[in-house]
Amino acid sequence: MDILDLTATELAEKIKRKECSAVEAAAACIEQIGREDKKLHAFLNVDADAVLRRAKEVDRGIETGIYTGPLAGVPIAVKDNICTKGMATTCASKILENFVPFYNAEAVDRIEAAGMVLLGKTNMDEFAMGSTTETSAFGDTKNPWDPAHVPGGSSGGSCAAVASGEAFLALGSDTGGSIRQPSSYCGVTGIKPTYGTVSRYGLIAYASSLDQIGPIAKNTKDCAALLSVLAGQDSKDSTSVKRTDTDFLSAAGDDMSEMKIGIPVEYLSDGIDDDVKESVLKAAEWFKILGASVEYFDLGLTEYTIPAYYVIASAEASSNLERFDGVKYGYRSSSCEGLHDMYKKSRSEGFGPEVKRRIMLGSFVLSSGYYDAYYLKALRVRAKLKEAFDRAFSRFDIILGPAAPTAAPRLGTSLNDPLKMYLSDIYTVSANLAGLPGLTVPCKINKDGLPIGVQLTGNCFAESKLFQAAYGLEKLRGPWQLPFMRKECME
């Protein structure tokens, strides 16, 4: 078996048994990046020499017993809105093109303490604002299954890197579906944890009450192993939560005889492709085979989630992005006269059109005369949505639904209609508004050769149930072949 075909946990076991080394694994990823990334553009920044130096250090650490975890020696990619000390962190924006942090995000410190090897930074929608990775100031990313299609967004670079074999694992961030939706489009597994499970320290904020860092992997076991590394309270992030149930690898098992699955009827109504609907129904049948009960129900408020999300997210973005003004760091216009002109020109030249659109929307809904009419109303919808989920989880363990209404669209078709792009998040934003965990697992390949994933949503701090359910789905689905493996695709 080619080293790239291994899962992350399989690779770590081989490294521990000295059947291969962290250096060999890192070199294999660097070679794959060299072969594939000119076509895919998943990465923005890779320093091969630094990667190999770190891999040698990790091999020594494994030898001496410093690194003993289940992912020691595994190469990992990191989304470019997560700060990395001494390595450019741009948020795929011109305004931060030359920004090099002097500290690591807590999530990066944790993966390094676990003995993982940081490969580089992945492309994304600018400031995580987008659903296709086409709003990046440094060019779009292509889908490894078909480069004529988008990989999804905003964590499209991270998902494409895993799907193409350029990385065994990746970190993404999820504000309204930015891990789960591109995971579906790229045929990988990704989870947005419960809000507060992973520290946001060092994550450059889009919408602070919605953002959450999470893992992206080839399968459920790898996802669980990485989340176990990331999860935990951090004194530098007051929103992080102290948890004692972070051994997510122990959730393995497919006995779901007592599990109750709910499917919102509105998730399968108009606007969803037949292939996606069939995937959800197939997953429901698999759950029944595994012994779970499956029931349809009315969640309610679904039609209000997109407007509420974009009002709240844009309001928080307009506040968070206020700091990028050309004064302390980042891009500064060279043709300005006076302080106010510098503010105006630096932001006009540094931000892309989608970021400007959301800043203006956020400023509008927070302005005098509109705050009550829009922002406060959106907060009330958010509270009502959380109540609706609380009622649902009094009856069900897991909510099953699509991750996106379609498979990956073609490049260039989404940005022409921003509203249509926003509506593609309809199945994912509710988990962020309610602070819930959500996991996407690949289900099938459609007639066009594109993968389709299903989304599992759980109650707060119920990630272990999501992993248990995902293990069961993987067992009945069978082996999943990613495109780089160069094997015959599944029917």
* 366-395 confidence digits (pLDDT tens): 998 899 999 999 999 999 999 999 999 999
Pick the catalytic residue from 14, 21, 79, 346: 79
Pick the catalytic residue from 93, 131, 136, 154: 154
Q: Looking at the domain assignment, is residue 171 inside a domain?
A: yes
- What is the predicted pLDDT for the residue at 270? 81
Strand 117-122's sheet: what is its strand order? 43-46, 117-122, 75-79, 169-174, 212-217, 189-192, 438-445, 451-458, 398-402, 260-264, 293-297
Mean pLDDT, rounded, for 469-479: 95
DSSP state of 203: B
> Rounded to two decimals, what is the model's pTM?
0.96
Q: Looking at the domain assignment, is residue 445 inside a domain?
A: yes
- What is the predicted pLDDT for the residue at 283? 98
Pick the catalytic residue from 93, 131, 178, 183: 178
SS3 of residue 198 by DSSP: strand
Q: How confident is the model at residue 82 (pLDDT cuts 50, 70, 90)?
A: very high
Q: Looking at the domain assignment, is residue 86 inside a domain?
A: yes
Residue pair 157/43 in contact by the 8 Å Cβ criterion? yes
Beta strands in 12-157 (DSSP E): 43-46, 75-79, 117-122
Q: Looking at the domain assignment, is residue 52 inside a domain?
A: yes
DSSP state of 92: T
Instruction: Report how many domains make up the chain.
Output: 1
Average pLDDT, the chain: 95
Residue pair 169/76 in contact by the 8 Å Cβ criterion? yes
- What is the predicted pLDDT for the residue at 417? 78
345: its two tokens? 């020109």
User: In this structure, which amino acid lies at residue 421?
Assistant: M
The 10s digit of each residue's pLDDT in 269-296 is 888 999 999 999 999 999 999 999 999 9
pLDDT higher than threshold 90 for residue 133: yes
The 10s digit of each residue's pLDDT in 219-249 is 999 999 999 999 999 999 999 999 999 999 9
- What is the predicted pLDDT for the residue at 489? 38
Per the DSSP assignment, residues forming a β-bridge with 294 are 261
Q: Which residue has the tokens 């990191």?
A: 78
Q: Looking at the domain assignment, is residue 357 inside a domain?
A: no
Q: Looking at the domain assignment, is residue 46 inside a domain?
A: yes
CATH of the domain at 475: 3.90.1300.10
Active site annotation includes 154 = yes
Q: Looking at the domain assignment, is residue 164 inside a domain?
A: yes
Q: How confident is the model at residue 418 (pLDDT cuts 50, 70, 90)?
A: confident
DSSP state of 146: B
Q: How far is CA 303 from CA 264, 358, 431, in A?
A: 13, 20, 14
- Asked which of 48-57, 131-140, 205-214, 420-429 is least confident by mean pLDDT, the reply is 420-429
Query: In percent, how much of the chain has pLDDT > 90?
Result: 91
| Residue span of the structural domain in which 191 resides | 3-262+394-485
